[in-house]
Amino acid sequence: MNTQTTPSPQFYLTAPATCPYLPGQMERKVFTHLVGPRAAEMNDLLTQGGFRRSQNIAYRPACETCRACISVRILADEFQAGRTMRRVLAANADVVSTLLPAQPSTEQFSLFRRYLDDRHQRGGMSDMSALDYAIMVEDTHVNTRIIEYRKREPGTGIGERKGELLAVALTDTMSDGLSMVYSFFNTRLARRSLGTFMILDHISRTQALGLPHVYLGYWVKGSSKMGYKTRFQPQEHLTPRGWERFDPATDI
């Protein structure tokens, strides 16, 4: 398969495969390679056009009979945490988040494996090895970082990686915000709602950067796995008419 840099990206279509979100559906994806000096620019444009990044691939659904996958982005500059999300922030007041280069560690992989075993035993990533994880983190030509979330230890200085590792996010920085590429956490700490906490942290980081959007990937209407994404309001969904503000009160 050609991965050489060309003036215009070359797009490819995958063969049909079983949909991991909706029973009885088949999925196909259109994808291109994110390589070369224009990779970051292309990642911006494609993400704004409904694509997601996985390693050096940008893809989006191209299913023949289904349009359930909808790109979602939070309007970070308008977001205000409600009572429930303020409780999540309070429950994690002892957590320190640290922005790091996109470099894998044994500690991260151990948490990643436990997360997959608890949440995604039958998913497409269920048999990933340490090498697969390292490639997922490092195989990028765009502005990617790792954010580690650790329980604060007394006496820990700024930038020190001490304390129990609770969660990790692989995040792209783009011209208009942050894109959460992949995240995982200790699923046995349900009281902390770490998945929600990481999204709140990304909203805060995006606000601090003076940027408008946090990209969450795809919301799949009818999939319980994806229902959490619509809780972060206000947000926009990508429709055939472009990005439009989503009103959960009118969603049926």
Q: Which of 177, 187, 209, 149 is nearest to 71 (CA)?
A: 177
Give pLDDT, residue 4.
52
| Whole-prediction pTM | 0.90
pLDDT tops 70 at residue 40:
yes
Cα separation, 96 vs 166, in Å, equals 10
| β pairing state of 213-220 and 177-185 | parallel
Average pLDDT over residues 66-81: 95
Structural contact between residues 206 and 138, judged by C-beta atoms closer than 8 angstroms: no
At residue 105, what is the residue type?
S
Q: pLDDT-based confidence at 199, cuts 50/70/90?
A: very high
pLDDT tops 60 at residue 226:
yes
Give pLDDT, residue 156.
66
Average pLDDT over residues 60-72: 93
Backbone angles phi and psi of 196, in degrees to 5? -65, -40
The two tokens of residue 160 are 């020190």
CB atoms within 10 A of CB 245: 11
Q: Which residue has the tokens 């956490």?
A: 185
Lowest-confidence region among 139-148, 154-163, 188-197: 154-163
Sketch out the chain's domains with CATH numbers. Answer: 73-250 (3.40.630.30)
Q: pLDDT-based confidence at 3, cuts 50/70/90?
A: low
pLDDT tops 60 at residue 5:
no
Cα separation, 95 vs 166, in Å, equals 8
Q: Is 140 exposed, middle or buried (0-12, 13-18, 19+ CB in 10 A)?
A: buried
Indicate the SS3 state at residue 197: helix
Average pLDDT over residues 123-152: 90
Share of the chain above pLDDT 70, in %: 91
Average pLDDT over residues 217-243: 91
Q: H or E segment at 165?
A: strand 165-174
pLDDT tops 90 at residue 43:
yes
Give pLDDT, residue 126.
66
CB atoms within 10 A of CB 176: 15
For the chain, the farthest-separated pair of C-alpha atoms sits apart, in whole angstroms, at: 57
Give pLDDT, residue 119.
77
Instruction: State the virtual CA torsion across 231, 232, 235, 239 in degrees, nearest 10.
Output: -40
Give, as one character, the DSSP assignment of residue 149: E
Answer with the residue of higher pLDDT: 171 or 3: 171
